[in-house]
Amino acid sequence: MNIKSEQEMLEFGRDFAKDLTRPAVIELVGDVGAGKTTFVRGLAQGLGIKEAVTSPSFTISKSYALPDGGRLVHYDFYRLPEPGLMEDDLIENINDAENIIVIEWGESIADVLPKEHIKIEIKYTEEGREIIK
């Protein structure tokens, strides 16, 4: 699927929210600037979250209350090659079936992700971005 602009990525995220059943663990794969966080912004909008979603690259995780209970928990492990206690936090949040978990740069915690988790890959193309599922 071709995504030509930031707006289209937000729309893709909003659409993705409509079909999402819980519990959900989504791994986002793509280079720096590919649009992973932009996708999460759209996803949050589609889930009815009013708060602005910003990158958790410095805080490692950010979490937002979902209107009907549970939380959207957004992780970015880019700056944390040794996940340590953050791995325990992630496992706890994955184990709450009301939550939706989204992870950027999840290589270091790959072994704690459920085998059937959703993986979305975003690639740069000449026209924008390509979504590979």
Binding site for ligand ADP (CB under 6 A): 3-6, 9, 30, 32-38, 55, 104, 128-129
Q: Residue 11 binds which entry of ligand ADP, Mg ion, none, with Cβ cut-offs from 5 to 8 Å by kind?
A: none
Q: Residue 95 binds which entry of Mg ion, ligand ADP, none, with Cβ cut-offs from 5 to 8 Å by kind?
A: none
Smallest distance from ligand ADP to CB 95, Å: 26
CA distance 31 to 113: 20
Smallest distance from Mg ion to CB 34, Å: 8
Backbone angles phi, psi at 75, to 5 degrees: -110, 150
